[in-house]
Copies of this chain bind each other. A is one copy, B any other.
Amino acid sequence: MNPAIQDLYPPDFAHCFGCGRENPHGHQLKSFVEGNEVVARFTPSPHHMAVPGYVYGGLLASLADCHAMATAAADAEQTAGRQVGDGPAPRFVTAALRVDYLKPTPLGSELEIRGHVTERSAKKAVVAVSITVRGTQTVSAEAVAVRIPKSMESPL
């Protein structure tokens, strides 16, 4: 199996609340290359609710966000002629995020989060993300990912 992209982030960038392997309080989202897409699966906890029975939109935005950054990282590696896992994954951060809640997302089932890059340049990528539950897409998102600026590379 491919490694999770987030598990290839350098240790200093592995504390993200959404996807950092070093953040025990966080969601620890893990995204994998599958064919031409990047895919993550996540089952929200019962307390991740908006109103009873439905997933909290802020969690869905968070999952789309972290998944988009991982998708951008995988795409950057592939565009550079490397395979994901050949070395540390480049860390992208979010410049903009747009989330369309197409339908309420029911709680209690695994979510499938899929991403692919729609535009790329040396320092930036635009990533399209879908979230599907029980076979129905409930969320469409788009994120602008940029290579982490030097100013954010402070040590712990």
**What residues make up the interface of A, taking CB atoms closer than 8 Å to B?**
12-13, 15-18, 20, 23-26, 45, 47-54, 56-59, 61-63, 65-66, 91, 93-101, 104, 148-149, 151-156
Q: Which residues of chain B are near A25, meaning CB under 8 Å? A: 45, 47
Q: How far is B23's CA from A27's CA once the two chains are assembled, in angstroms?
A: 17
- Oligomer copy total: 2
Question: When the two chains form their complex, are residues B155 and A93 in contact, meaning their CB atoms are under 8 A apart?
Answer: no
Question: When the two chains form their complex, are residues A16 and B152 in contact, meaning their CB atoms are under 8 A apart?
Answer: no
Q: How far is B16's CA from A1's CA once the two chains are assembled, in angstroms?
A: 36
User: Which chain B residue lies CB-closest to A23?
Assistant: B47
Q: How far is B154's CA from A148's CA once the two chains are assembled, in angstroms?
A: 43
Question: When the two chains form their complex, are residues A56 and B16 in contact, meaning their CB atoms are under 8 A apart?
Answer: yes
Question: When the two chains form their complex, are residues A61 and B97 in contact, meaning their CB atoms are under 8 A apart?
Answer: yes
Q: How far is B52's CA from A63's CA once the two chains are assembled, in angstroms?
A: 19
